[in-house]
Structure 1
C-alpha cells in the first residue's frame, strides 16, 4: 500500500524570552510568515493528510496549527505527541509505528536534527539540513506504519520558504 510521510520542521522561533524554557519558545515574525506560505504550497501540491502529529513544543504546535488551517485539516484532530520533542529518528519511527494503519498520509511536525536524519535514513538522500518550516515528502510502500523501520522510501519533495523558485524539486 502506498503511504505518504511528510516531515515538517517547525517554523523559525523566537529567542527573545531567554527565561522561557525551550519547549515554551513561540514563533518569531518570520516563522509566522513562513508557515502559511508552506501551507499554501502543500495545498497547491494537493497534500491532504489523514493525520497530523506534532511535538508538544509551542513552536511546533503553532506551526502545525498554521499548516492545518491552510490545508483545511480540522484543528481539533491535531495529535500532540510528547515523544516527538527533540526526537531522534528511532523515536519518530516508534511514534509512527503506534499509529492506526487507516492513516495513509501523515504529517509529523518536529525538530532537527531528527527530521533531517530521518529523511536521509529513509530516502538515502544527503540533505545537510532541513531548514525551519522545511517540508520533506516521502513516498513509502508499506502495509503498516509498524513496518517503517528499515524501509526505503522515495523522496518526492524537499521544499522550504527560501528555496529559489527555479531550483529543481525531487
Structure 2
C-alpha cells in the first residue's frame, strides 16, 4: 500500500507587524491569484484526499479554503498546533495519523513545512515558496513507519 502526503505552504501573505499580528496576516492579491492557478492544475487532475489538515492562521485557513474548491476530501481539520510548527511537531502529528488515511494534505508555514519535507525525503535543497506544493509518497502501510528520515519519495512540486 502507498501512503501519499502532500505538503502545501500557505499563499503569499501581507507583511506582518510583530508576532502579535502574525497570526492574522491575510493573503495578498498575488498570493490568491497564484493559488487560483494552482487549483486549476489540481482540478484537472481530479485529486482526492482522505483528510486535509491546516494551521488555523488566517493565511493558511484562506489557502485551504481556495484549494478545497479544486479537490475532493472526506474531512478537513484545522489545528492550532500547526501554526508555525517546527519539524518535530509536524513529525509527531503525521507519524500518528490513523492508517485508514492513505492520502493526506498538510497546509502549513515555513520554515517548518520545508524542513519537514527535507527530513522525510532526504532532499535538503528544497524550500517551498508561498503557494508551493510538494507531493511525497511512501511505500509502506503505516504512517508511523512512513514519517521517518528519508523514507519519502518526492514525486512532484507544483506552484
Q: Report the TM-score when normalising by structure 1.
A: 0.84
Where structure 1 has 5 or more consecutive residues not aligned to the other structure, the ranges are: 161-170
Question: Which residue of the partner structure matches residue 85 of structure 1?
Answer: 83
Deviation at 1:46, TM superposition (A): 4.0
* Aligned CA distance change for structure 1 residues 143 and 151 (closer, same or farther; 3 Å): farther
User: How much has 1:145 moved relative to structure 2?
Assistant: 1.6
What corresponds to 2:155 in structure 1? Answer: 156
2:138 maps to 140
Check the 8 A contact 1:51/1:78 in 2, yes or no. yes
Name which of structure 1's ranges 101-110 and 120-129 shifts more when overlaid on structure 2: 120-129
- Which residue number corresponds to residue 130 of structure 1? 128
- Counterpart of 2:26? 26
Which has the larger displacement, 32-41 or 18-27? 18-27
Could you state the TM-score of these two structures normalised by the residue count of structure 2?
A: 0.89
What CA distance in whole angstroms lies between the structure 2 residues aligned with 1:43 and 1:127? 28
- Output the CA distance in 2 between the equivalents of 1:32 and 1:90: 29
Quick one: distance in 2 between partners of 1:69 and 1:122? 28
| Count of paired positions | 157
1:36: how far off? 1.7
Q: Report the Cα distance in structure 1 between the residues aligned to 2:95 and 2:79, rounded to whole angstroms.
A: 13
